[in-house]
A and B are shown apart, each in its own frame.
Chain A
Amino acid sequence: MADAPHLSPLPPFRAYFFIKYAIILSDMANTAQFISSIPYFTGLDGPGMEMARRFIYEKKAGRGEILLAEGEPADTLYFVAEGAVKVFKTSAEGKEQILRIVRPGESFNDVPVLGGGASLVSAEAMGPVVLYGIKKSDLEKIVREHPQAALNVIQVLSKRVVELISLVEDLSFRHVTSRVAKMLLEYAGDNSVDRPHLTQQEMAAMIGTAREMVGRSLKSLEEDGAIRIERNRIVIANRNALREMAGIT
């Protein structure tokens, strides 16, 4: 029986470059996989996906970092790869209304990039985040050359309209406890492992009320057995009861 071929170990500097190359390849594969999961690029053919890969760049930010400022020019569309970003407007009195919490795979700053003009909202990292950005001019190149991307843009914007109508409906027609119940259901309902934690102030800013009202509503939901508050955890104990309180049939 022949002896197994003797493999001499790589010299340290070669091993270093080998490992580094393997890490780069792995990162590229992860990035490609992520890009193909973004609604804007779903269903694109090989050349379309290659364009997206070429134009997209990575950006990292820490908790509390402002990523967009209302009224400022903004020509980059961002996709959240890791972490969460809150998109909000601030009134002249400093009151904050959170419009969306953007989670992995979702985008923000869509409207100014697609429609032109300054940023309509502000965006802040809720924790450490990894973003992928694409410049307006580069996105337009993809849309011009790949009709599927244009259809995807329409779908994304339609989803945004639905979300905003839902928010207006909540603010106009639901009482505060019902809004809190709906917010908790939506927040915990996506089976994500990467849910950012929320302060009572953030919950209030999401549903257009005061922090104190959120505290009272949480107590009321707990008394009714829909939720349980365990120190810094809100446990949805009875989803059906919470749905009933949210007015969801």
Chain B
Amino acid sequence: MKELPLIDQEKCQRCGLCVSVCACGALRLVGKSVQAVEVDDCQWCTLCELVCPNGAITCPYEVVVENDTSV
């Protein structure tokens, strides 16, 4: 299953900035919270993380070595 940007709902102020910059429409305001709804559409551009004024969204990367059997 594809991973999604992590949204800390306690830090999120529902300003909607992330939704407005999300070019692929993966993020939506659902009720009183922002949620990543279109899993397959998210391209991990990390714009949502960049614009969030509250640091509520994080887009972490896994670092792996090619053909590394330990991961």
Q: Is the CB of A198 within 8 A of B68?
A: no
Chain A residues near B49 (CB-CB < 8 A) = 199-201
Residue of B nearest to A229 (CB): B61
Contacting B63 at CB < 8 Å: which of A188, A191, A211, A231?
A188
Q: Is the CB of A199 within 8 A of B62?
A: no
A42-74: CB near B (< 8 Å → 1, else 0) gives 000000000000000000000010000000000
Contacting B64 at CB < 8 Å: which of A64, A215, A234?
A234
The prevalent SS among residues of A at the interface is mixed
Q: Is the CB of A188 within 8 A of B64?
A: yes
Q: Is the CB of A199 within 8 A of B59?
A: yes
- Does A161 reach chain B (CB closer than 8 Å)? no
The count of chain B contact residues (Cβ–Cβ below 8 Å) is 20
Q: A64-B8, A211-B50, A231-B43 are in contact. Are A198 and B63 (CB under 8 A)?
A: yes
Which residues of B does A touch, CB under 8 Å? 2-3, 8, 43-44, 46, 49-50, 58-66, 68, 70-71
Can you add 4 more A-B contacts, CB < 8 Å, to A192-B70, A200-B59, A235-B66? Answer: A195-B63, A199-B59, A232-B59, A234-B62
Which residues of A does B touch, CB under 8 Å? 64, 184, 187-189, 191-193, 195-202, 211, 215, 228-229, 231-237, 239
